[in-house]
Amino acid sequence: PNGAGGTARRGSVAPKLQPAALNHPQTLEAFKSLDAAQQKDRVLNEFVPHMLGERATFHEGISKPHTASTSQSRGGAAADIALACKHLGPVVVLKRFGVLAEIEKTLLPQGIGAVFGNGPGKGIHPG
């Protein structure tokens, strides 16, 4: 990754993701102090849609219509989910809160069975 002069090439290493909503110890503590249902609601209705680039047009009210998502905003939401996993546990966030299912729906809209030919889609081995 280093050039002839010993400096790293620009763009050779992805920048670290910075959390968007849980970017301060106080906001993280406030999130952790919510009950499990409120944490799940915030993760599924705020972090996951931001991460997947599916924000509602009027997320913050009609006076503040949202602009198109950017890789930075999606990365910030992904970092928020990573922090939630770190503090609440990956099984809780990814499985119990349903984050993994939302990601799977985005990647495989016809379900995993469609990939292998035993679901509603044709899949890679259709019979």
Cα distances from 3 to residues 6, 7, 8, 14, 30, in angstroms, run 5, 6, 6, 16, 44
Put simply, whether the predicted model's pTM sits higher than 0.85 gets the answer no
To the nearest whole number, what is the mean pLDDT of the chain? 81
Confidence of residue 120 (pLDDT cuts 50, 70, 90): low
**Region 73-93 average pLDDT:** 95
Selection from 123, 39, 26 nearest residue 81 by Cα: 39
pLDDT in tens, 105-115: 888 888 777 77
User: How far apart (Å, rounded) are the C-alpha atoms in residues 95 and 103?
Assistant: 11
Confidence of residue 33 (pLDDT cuts 50, 70, 90): very high
User: How far apart (Å, rounded) are the C-alpha atoms in residues 36 and 19?
Assistant: 20
Measured distance between the N- and C-terminal CA atoms of the chain, rounded to whole angstroms: 46
